[in-house]
Amino acid sequence: MKGPEARSSTSCAACRLQKRRCTSNCIFAPHFRSDDPLKFAQVHKVFGASNVSKILSEVPQEQRDDTANSLAYEAEARLRDPVYGCMRTIALLQRKRVELQHDLMLARARLAHYIASNSSQFGKGHVDMAPLSHLSPLCIEQTQSFGWNLSEFY
């Protein structure tokens, strides 16, 4: 007959909130410690303990801390802004990125002008005017695939 699971000496925040025994193999315990009850309370309110448990169990153990932290971030954002959640931050960052890309383009054009007008003195310089190739517009693609117009945030 299978014996009872060993009880953890200190209940994690999840087990305390759910008023249950915290076992030594509790999936929540490493990521929702008892000294930070708010973290799990927020995640529980937004996603639910069952869903969080499923998400954690579906990722490799070494990535569960990052998973729990990103869930906590998302939950906090959604509780702070029940309509837009993380989307407001994404929209503002996208706007900032567009503005900076424009600034970079202007700066490069100005540098190219300097080089062109002084090529006899400085030799033929080169300004890479190509857009930064590693800056894939992943967010624009992803948000457009949802028919999402982020301009309402601007």
Partner 1 sequence: MLNSRRCAACIYLRRKCPRDCLFAPYFPSSNPQRFANVHKIFGASNTSKMLTQLPVDLRAVAVDCMYFEATSRVRCPVYGCVGIITALVQQITDIQYEIAKTKAEIALYSAQQQQMSENKDSQG
* Residue 7 touching partner 1 (CB under 8 A): no
* Residue 83 touching partner 1 (CB under 8 A): yes
* Residue 85 touching partner 1 (CB under 8 A): yes
59 phi/psi in degrees, rounded to 5:
-110, 155
| Cβ–Cβ < 8 Å for 125, 119 | yes
Q: What is the DSSP letter of 23?
A: B
3-state DSSP of 41-73: HHHHHHCCHHHHHHHHHCCCHHHHHHHHHHHHH
**Residue of 10, 38, 96, 144 that binds partner 1 (CB under 8 A):** 96
Interface contacts to partner 1, rule CB under 8 A:
45-48, 50-51, 55, 58-59, 63, 66-67, 70-71, 73-74, 78, 82-87, 89-90, 93-94, 96-97, 100-101, 103-104, 107-108, 110-111, 114-115, 118, 121-122, 132, 134-135, 138-139, 142-143, 146, 148
